[in-house]
Amino acid sequence: MSILVVSVSHKTAPMDLLSRLTLGEDSTTKMLGALVASEHVDEAVVLSTCNRTEVYAAVSRFHGGLAALTQTVEAITGIGVDTLQDSCAVFYDEAAVSHCFQVTSGLDSMVAGEHQILGQVRHALNHAQFEGTVGTTLNSLFQQSLRVAKRVQTETAAGTAGRSLVTAAVDQLAENGIELDGQRVLVVGAGSMASLAAHTVAGVGARVTLVNRTRDKAERLAAAVGGRARPLEELPAALAEADIVITCTGARGIELSAVDFRDTDVRGVIDLALPADVSPDVAALTEVVLVNLDTLAQAAQSAASGFPVAPGEAPAPTALGAGASEIAEAETLVSGEVRDFLGLRRAAAVAPTVVALRSMAQEVMTAELSRLDSRLPDLGDKERAEVEQTVRRVVEKLLHQPTVRVKQLASLPDSPDYAAALRELFALETTTIDSVSQVAR
């Protein structure tokens, strides 16, 4: 099985398209089921966050697999294949492994080095496991990617910097003269992003109020940050008492417009939701600074290119996330892990052929011993056992070094297809090799 990834992210598509691609639990479940029901897809994992939607699949054929992935996305989201092809990146086999490790480690995020993506990847894997759409190929890929991400977090400067979308958004407010220390900050939502926002702003001295549709969640989070909770029905009153608003619900029924912020003391609004919680018309208010995923994406592009954003766009920081040297250190670690993982994959790919070769040798040995029995019917049990042991040792010695070496050589980068060479040299039946592979799975 080969690994295929179709990725639509902040690097390839505008936020309005990403918003249309955002998947809830039910949609993700439907997509997973439809993917593995297709002819060329054996396994599938779907990752959907505020700045990316990606489909990972173990496929038997590249073109058939790609068609299955894009057609399934179209069926679930209503976004046409042509639009997807213009707005996605496709990764296959080695490139897919590298991309997965980069994403899970936070190196492909809008804020390089952020940690939240690791939990989102783990959730995506757990969801696919629960739905039964993960097998040996994707499970080994994602389990290793999670281990690599933990190494990046604990062993590199990029991982220990503690950067996130929240800190990047707070930095954009600071560049506009808005600091959080001592400010009244209203956080709308109580999910993982809202929790991160509440802890971040409380840590710099803000007074936090939580508003959420589920009051219990808001109260638990408020207690954790020394703040207070209010029900969603009191959102207008909470807005009237806030200096800064951070919203990250992603609920399609919530949208704050410019009208909601008139006649309030709100100076800064951070919207980290996808779909957006705050209407773009808020940016037109002269007394309010709006930071959202669009402004953060522009800043990320500016930081990556080294050029400022166009006039009229939100000002960009000199760096979004970890610095270049920190990222380089993390990427070196990830590259080494990718190389090792691919080596293990190549060695594992040749293993069924090696097993088939040994099975063929066993069959030949058994047939020859049976022929010996017919020719020498008077051969005693002791003598026959000695002959069988001698033949077995000869076969084992002849096969040992070549089979050990072929596994070692197959693990090297850019190595020839040693499995194909063994099949050709020893006339091994592909059906035998396929049956060995099925048993291994």
Q: Does 193 appear as a known binding residue?
A: yes
pLDDT for 101-131, tens place per residue?
999 999 999 888 888 899 999 999 999 999 9
Q: Does 48 appear as a known binding residue?
A: no
Q: Does 248 appear as a known binding residue?
A: no
Q: Does 295 appear as a known binding residue?
A: no
Write down the pLDDT at residue 357.
81
pLDDT band at 305 (very low <50, low <70, confident <90, very high): low
What residue ranges define each of the domains in the chain, with the CATH number in brackets?
2-160 (3.30.460.30), 165-321 (3.40.50.720), 346-396+408-440 (no CATH)
**To the nearest whole number, what is the mean pLDDT of the chain?**
87
Q: Among this protein's residues, is 50 annotated catalytic?
A: yes
For the cut 50, the answer to whether the pLDDT of residue 260 exceeds it is yes
Please tell me which residue in 50, 88, 100, 248 is annotated as part of the active site: 50
SS (H, E, C) the chain: CEEEEEEEECCCCCHHHHHHHCCCHHHHHHHHHHHHCCCCEEEEEEEEECCEEEEEEEECCHHHHHHHHHHHHHHHHCCCHHHHHHCCEEEECHHHHHHHHHHHCCCCCCCECCCHHHHHHHHHHHHHHHHCCCCHHHHHHHHHHHHHHHHHHHHCHHHHCCCCHHHHHHHHHHHCCCCCCCCEEEEECCCHHHHHHHHHHHHCCCEEEEEECCHHHHHHHHHHHCCEEEEHHHHHHHHHCCCEEEECCCCCCCCECHHHHCCCCCCEEEECCCCCCECHHHHHCCCCEEEEHHHHHHHHHHHHHCCCCCCCCCCCCCCCECCHHHHHHHHHHHHHHHHHHHHHHHHHHHHHHHHHHHHHHHHHHHHHHHHHHHHCCCCCHHHHHHHHHHHHHHHHHHHHHHHHHHHHHHCCCCCCCHHHHHHHHCCCCHHHHHHHHHHHC
Write down the pLDDT at residue 308.
46
Write down the pLDDT at residue 324.
77
Instruction: Taking residues 157-177, report their average pLDDT.
Output: 86
Instruction: Taking residues 370-377, report their average pLDDT.
Output: 86
Q: Does 12 appear as a known binding residue?
A: no
